[in-house]
Structure 1
């Protein structure tokens, strides 16, 4: 089970494909499996990292308030932990909001 410590929690993720990194961020209450039907196509061109956000799937579920800004910090630290210096980022709904925060707060991480 691939997990990394990032932002004081365990973040579960999966990797498929080869090429430039693509981080796929799920929507509210969904886990990384929400990309099951898309990732095979993306993996033809990208190294796809699908993640479970804090509080969902197999990632840590600490008590407290979860915000899109906090999720973005989690993704930034996740990227650092797995050695991604910058990546294409895509998200659905909440995932898109997290990606926006990520680009705003950590612009060097987002292509």
Structure 2
């Protein structure tokens, strides 16, 4: 299905824009798209205006030749909100989307009512992580995006869900293999080179919701919950890996709505 599109700074950004009222912005993970949220977006949009973009290099959005630092991708979101005349929003970032959310929080704190990281963290890549990004870039260059997704996709789910949720696993695989290889490589560079932003979480002047998956193979609980404070709420989603929006959508929906209702005083 065709999405809304908007063009600025030489790139086309595709996005979903559903519902009305106070705004929620949903940012997907690596080699995903706004379709990652398809099990909860309809319910969220009954109460809020939900903006769910395809990040630069992903989904139906365009690509550009240079690497994609998190700051650049955050700037895309700021531009999108400005074009849509949304002065402030709640950002909810999944995995890569969480890294973009933290860059946004650092650069545009005045545009945030609150933010949430879903299966994400404030840590930079360690040396092993950087090497894995380089290997991913080389693998896509040499073998294509399908080979990269074949390695990534099983890690996104709680192990038992690879058998019990086969249609969902295949749905996410199909989203992944549709990612432009150049876009995936460019964003892997940006992820590899991102800085530690745990202090952004710790020092945030707005409420923060940290959501972790009980069986997440990519972001363990200790990384997801590294920061604590009165403004920070930590929630673990049971029986979920890295994809609670697909594995346990009702549980994630409840947490997002509870958080948003509190922020917007509903």
TMscore range, shorter length:
over 0.9
Given candidates 52, 56, 59, the residue that maps to 1:57 is 59
Return the offset for 1:103.
1.1
Q: Point out 4+ residue stretches in structure 1 off by more than 2 angstroms.
A: none
Return the offset for 1:3.
0.7
Structure 2 residue aligned with 1:12: 14
Specify which structure has the bigger relative contact order, considering alpha-carbon pairs within 8 angstroms and separated by 6 or more residues: 1
Partner Cα separation in structure 1 for residue 70 and residue 40 of structure 2: 23
TM-score, structure 2 length as denominator? 0.40
Partner Cα separation in structure 1 for residue 62 and residue 21 of structure 2: 29
Q: Gapped runs of 5+ residues in structure 2?
A: 114-266
Partner Cα separation in structure 1 for residue 83 and residue 9 of structure 2: 10
When you count helix as a share of all residues, which structure comes out higher?
A: 2
Residues 4, 82 of structure 1: 8 Å contact kept = no
Number of residues of Structure 1 aligned to a counterpart in Structure 2:
111
Partner Cα separation in structure 1 for residue 71 and residue 110 of structure 2: 16
1:103 and 2:136 correspond: no
Q: Secondary structure at the match of 1:50?
A: strand
Greater Rg over alpha carbons, structure: 2
TM-score, structure 1 length as denominator? 0.94
Partner Cα separation in structure 2 for residue 82 and residue 17 of structure 1: 14
Return the offset for 1:87.
0.6
Given candidates 79, 93, 98, the residue that maps to 1:77 is 79
